């Protein structure tokens, strides 16, 4: 009998949310929206409505073990998988898939990011159930594609064949990474493109077949660890083997190459919260176009600004427009909203100049 598992990927460092997100406390462990819950807590809570607690796994960097334990106390210790090196998403998914397969060969496994926002959780969970039902008994990888609302150049796009495979499920035709604005506008007009949300579902056997076919070196590494999973020797094996993995994303390594990928068109109030601009787009907007998050913020004759104050200090804006101002205890970021994608480059410069002090 098949059992359903969920894997939450929580190893990213969230550099585009600097200075709030730091390497020792990245964005998935932050309450960025001021809801009282961190992003990973929100992710876990919504998944707990579909998956049993012992079927929810978290893959994260070994430096974040204490954060995961503190914020997700219900997650079993054996279900927290620690990455000893940053290798992108394919190795972390392989680790979780091979470990779960060694315990439950009939598993269906959902892979989900830890730091996305979903406002319509009822519809989201319905789509997850539809995907799990389809992969149970089918050699298929299912992804949830988001119906686009604008020609966004920050997302990857999924094109699908318009002939139904079964109810609400279509075969994927192509993947396109972050297009130009002109191409994104064409995608939106065509009606057969969706945003790639990075959510993937497949049976454990389908996942393993895919690794063996498309990423055999990674597959061999984790298959060789089968006798160590769920034993006292697992940590030692992973510490020795994980750094040998190629740095590669699951999208590039498998999803874009596989012929058995299907998509469920979805609309459930999704945002990947990839940048501060994405927070600005979903937060309450004042009459002057400003978005204010935090306390002790005063503005006069100021329009279309995003201001985030995480400390007790006072922020005052006078006569400015289209600025992003983000304040933490020891750093302040001020930039034009049009250039906020360059925050990652700024963080790299800061790391080099200050030897990691502010990272």
Q: 55 near 5, Cβ under 8 Å?
A: yes
Confidence (pLDDT) at 348: 86
Reading phi first (left if > 0) and then psi (alpha if -120 to 50, else beta), residue 356 is in left
CA distance 156 to 293: 28
Q: Is the pLDDT of residue 26 over 70?
A: yes
Interatomic CA distance for residues 97 and 248, integer angstroms: 16
Residue 303, pLDDT above cutoff 70: yes
Confidence category of residue 14, pLDDT binned at 50, 70, 90? confident
CATH of 3-271, one of 3.90.550.10, 3.40.190.10, 3.40.50.10740, 3.40.50.300: 3.90.550.10
**Residue that wins the pLDDT comparison between 152 and 245:** 245
Average pLDDT of span 294-323:
93
CA distances (Å), origin 80, targets 55, 98, 294 = 11, 14, 32
pLDDT at 341 over 80: no
Per-residue pLDDT, 340: 80
DSSP 255: I
Q: What is the mean pLDDT of the chain?
A: 94
pLDDT of residue 42 exceeding 90, the answer is: yes
Predicted pLDDT at 268:
96
- Tell me how far apart the alpha carbons of residues 10 and 13 are, in angstroms, rounded to a whole number: 9
Using the predicted structure, report yes or no on whether residue 245 has a pLDDT greater than 90. Answer: yes
Backbone angles phi, psi at 294, to 5 degrees: 110, 180
**pLDDT above 90 for 33:** no
pLDDT for the residue 179: 86
Check residue 1 and give its pLDDT.
62
Domain spans of the chain, in order of start: 3-271, 276-354
From CA 219, how far away is CA 205, in angstroms rounded?
A: 12
Whether residue 356 has pLDDT greater than 90: no
pLDDT band, very low/low/confident/very high, at 262 (cuts 50, 70, 90):
very high
Over range 74-79, report the average pLDDT: 97
pLDDT band at 146 (very low <50, low <70, confident <90, very high): very high
Q: How confident is the model at residue 134 (pLDDT cuts 50, 70, 90)?
A: very high
Provide the percentage of residues in the chain whose pLDDT is more than 90: 76
Dump pLDDT digits (tens) for 160-215.
999 989 989 999 999 988 888 899 999 988 889 999 999 999 999 999 999 999 99
> 43: which 2 tokens?
């992710």
pLDDT of residue 113: 97
Confidence of residue 51 (pLDDT cuts 50, 70, 90): very high
Range with the poorest average pLDDT among 85-89, 109-113, 332-336, 349-353: 349-353
**Comparing 129-143, 273-287, 320-334, which segment has the lowest mean pLDDT?**
273-287
DSSP for 27-82 reads GGGS-TTSSSS-HHHHHHHHHTTTS-GGGEEEEEEGGGHHHHHHH-TTS-GGGEEE
* Percent of the chain at pLDDT exceeding 70: 100
Distance CA 199, CA 196 (A): 8
Tokens representing 250 are 């699951």
Residue 155: phi and psi, rounded to 5, are: -115, 155
pLDDT of amino acid 138: 96
């Amino acid at each position: 009998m098949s059992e359903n598992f969920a894997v939450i990927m929580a190893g990213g460092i969230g550099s585009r949310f600097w200075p709030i997100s730091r390497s020792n406390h990245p964005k998935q462990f932050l309450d960025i929206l001021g809801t009282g819950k961190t992003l990973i807590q929100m992710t876990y809570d919504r998944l707990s409505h579909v998956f049993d607690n012992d079927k929810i796994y978290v893959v994260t960097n070994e430096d974040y073990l204490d954060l995961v334990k503190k914020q997700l106390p219900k997650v079993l210790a054996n279900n927290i998988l620690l990455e000893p090196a940053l290798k992108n998403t394919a190795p972390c998914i392989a680790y979780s898939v091979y470990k779960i397969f060694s315990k439950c060969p009939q598993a269906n496994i959902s892979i989900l990011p830890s730091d996305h926002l979903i406002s319509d959780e009822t519809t989201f969970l319905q789509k997850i159930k539809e995907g799990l039902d389809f992969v149970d008994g089918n050699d298929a990888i299912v992804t949830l594609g988001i119906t686009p609302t604008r020609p966004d150049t920050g997302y990857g796009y999924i094109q699908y064949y318009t002939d139904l495979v079964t109810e609400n499920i279509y075969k994927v035709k192509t993947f396109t990474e972050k297009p130009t604005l002109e191409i994104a506008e064409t995608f939106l007009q065509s009606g057969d493109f969706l945003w790639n949300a990075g959510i993937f579902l497949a049976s454990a056997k389908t996942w393993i077949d895919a690794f063996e076919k498309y990423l055999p070196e990674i597959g061999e590494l984790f298959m060789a660890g089968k006798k160590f999973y769920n034993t006292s020797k697992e940590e030692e094996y992973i510490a020795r083997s994980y750094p040998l993995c190629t740095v590669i994303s699951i999208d590039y390594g498998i999803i874009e190459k596989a012929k058995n990928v299907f998509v469920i068109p979805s609309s459930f109030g999704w945002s990947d919260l990839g940048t501060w601009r994405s927070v600005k787009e979903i937060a309450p907007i004042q009459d002057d176009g400003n978005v204010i998050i935090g306390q002790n913020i005063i503005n006069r004759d100021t329009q279309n600004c995003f201001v985030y104050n995480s400390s007790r200090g006072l922020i005052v804006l006078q006569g400015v427009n289209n600025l992003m101002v983000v304040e933490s205890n020891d750093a302040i970021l001020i930039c034009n909203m049009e250039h906020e994608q360059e925050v990652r480059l700024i963080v790299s410069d800061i790391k080099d100049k200050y030897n990691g002090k502010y990272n």
